[in-house]
Amino acid sequence: MAEAKALFVANNGLDSNTCLDKDHPCRTIGKAIQNANSGDKIVVGPGHYTWESESEPGPSSCSFRCVIKVDKQLTIESRDGAAATVIDATGHNVDVVRIEASNVIFGQPHKGFTLTGASGGFSGLVIADGTSGVKVSGNLAIRNSGQGFTFSGSGHVLAGNIASANFFGFSVIGSGHILTGNIASSNSYGFGFSGNGHLLSGNTASANRFTGFIFSGSGHVLTNNTASANGFHGFDVNDGSGYVLTGNSAVGNKFFGIDIRKSASATITKNNIFGNDSQPSGSFVNCGLLNQSRGTINATNNFWGAAAGPGADPADNICNDGMGSNTTVAPFATKEFKAKSQSVPLFEEFTQLVL
């Protein structure tokens, strides 16, 4: 088996180079991928990598429309971080990055990329169906008309990424994915999940136009996530069973903090649920949790905004809708749980780009 090697890319490189000498790098990421073998690492210098520049010397052989296709088991990271290293679809109807191989590592803390400029409903980063074990971290997906990050397959890990000004920040299908410490802010929707068995910990959905977290499928576990200041619901469980929500915060969302839809079920404990439903809809007033499941929901040991439990302001209330919908709330917490959201190393770089 050949020893893994490092390849180098820079804005002052030439694609006639082998990419193997950091003093004589290649110009395009696509050329480095072409020259690499599975197991190699590609280090990308600061600069602007566009649809036009990646296509001219020889496109990255994208079977679907994209700027960069990763079809080998590679580690791809930037030298100077996401704020300094931009991959740009420049308004074309293409995905920015498409990963079609398993066990790829794309980005690291402080070594990620800015992914931007996808039009026509295309996305910042796509992980294709049939893949597994991909790790994506330290990246910013901003101003894409489709999703910031969209992925299927199984067993992927997304950690410390930020999505802003996309349609969905994160769109997830498949099974067994792990998301930790990601932020979806100022998108149309924050996080959208289907499939089964996803684990979410320490993620934040804030100031999105509509809902922070939307779920369907089964067996998802949410711990220490925050949905705040979203223009619709904080958490919306559309269907399925086996959901566990523990240690999360649904605070200050325009409508319901948590909405459990018809035929869905979830266990909801030790969460902060208050300051929601500032614009009540119809007969539902001050609803921290709306139970439309037609069954009994366990919502014990939550903090509802006041020591006396759910009720009128300053607390949030429980709203049951539909025959058979019932919510168990006692015992309830008498003080707010301390948030345990995870730090995102990329956040400082994100503020540099948008301020």
Token pair 């018809």: residue: 262
Q: Which residue in this structure is represented by tokens 């400082």?
A: 348
Could you list the residue range(s) of the whole structural domain that residue 292 is in? 82-354
Query: Which of residues 350 and 28 earns the better pLDDT score?
Result: 28
| 352 vs 124 pLDDT, higher one | 124
Using the structure block, give the residue that is written with the tokens 């994160």.
170
The residue among 245, 306, 316 whose CA lies nearest residue 277 is 316
What integer pLDDT is reported at residue 44 of this predicted model?
A: 99
Domain membership of residue 45 (yes or no) is: no
What integer is the mean pLDDT of 36-54?
96
pTM equals 0.94
Q: What is the pLDDT of residues 205-229, one digit of tens each?
A: 999 999 999 999 999 999 999 999 9
- pLDDT over threshold 60, residue 13: yes
Q: Which two tokens stand for residue 114?
A: 């800015």
Mean pLDDT of 154-182: 98
What is the radius of gyration, based on Cα positions, of the chain?
22
pLDDT number for residue 350 = 61
Mind listing the pLDDT tens digit for each residue in 294-309? 999 999 999 999 999 9
Q: pLDDT-based confidence at 243, cuts 50/70/90?
A: very high
CATH code of the domain containing 309: 2.160.20.10
**Is 321 contained in some domain?**
yes
Per DSSP, the three-state class of 353 is helix
Q: How much is the average pLDDT of 36-51?
A: 97
pLDDT level of residue 137 (50, 70, 90 thresholds): very high
Query: Distance from CA of residue 314 to its chain's centroid?
Result: 31
Residue 334: CB atoms within 10 Å: 11
Asked if 109 and 137 count as a contact pair (C-beta separation under 8 A), the reply is yes
Q: How confident is the model at residue 282 (pLDDT cuts 50, 70, 90)?
A: confident
Supply the pLDDT for residue 349.
62
Q: Is residue 113 part of a domain?
A: yes
Instruction: Please enumerate, as own/partner, the contacts of 341-345 that have beta carbons within 8 Å and a separation of 24 or more.
Output: 341/181, 341/202, 341/203, 341/204, 341/224, 341/225, 341/226, 342/160, 342/180, 342/181, 342/201, 342/202, 342/224, 343/181, 344/160, 344/162, 344/181, 344/182, 344/183, 345/109, 345/110, 345/138, 345/160
Task: Tell me whether residue 209 is in a domain.
Answer: yes
At residue 339, does pLDDT exceed 50? yes
pLDDT higher than threshold 90 for residue 199:
yes
Number of domains present in the structure of the chain: 1
Question: What mean pLDDT, rounded, does the chain reach?
Answer: 94
255 domain-assigned: yes
The pLDDT of residue 61 is: 55
Is the pLDDT reported for residue 66 higher than 60?
A: yes
98-118 confidence digits (pLDDT tens): 999 999 999 999 999 999 999
The closest alpha carbon to 26, from 41, 10, 37, belongs to 10
Is 180 a member of any domain?
A: yes
* pLDDT computed for residue 58 by the predictor: 46
Beta bridge partners of 221: 199, 244
Evaluated on CA atoms 125, 221, 336, 259, the torsion sign reads positive
12: number of Cβ within 10 Å = 8
In a domain, residue 336? The reply is yes
Distance CA 131, CA 70 (A): 12
353: how many CB neighbours lie within 10 A of its CB? 16
CB hemisphere CA count around 94 (13 angstroms): 25
Check whether 328 has a pLDDT greater than 90: yes
Asked if 24 and 9 count as a contact pair (C-beta separation under 8 A), the reply is no
What distance in Å separates the CA atoms of residue 27 and residue 346, rounded to the nearest whole number? 25
How confident is the model at residue 11, as a pLDDT?
Answer: 97
Question: Phi and psi for 43 in degrees, rounded to 5?
Answer: -110, 120
In a domain, 65, yes or no: no
Confidence at residue 340, expressed as pLDDT on a 0 to 100 scale: 72
- Round to whole Å and give the CA distance between 18 and 42: 12
- pLDDT at residue 123 above 60? yes
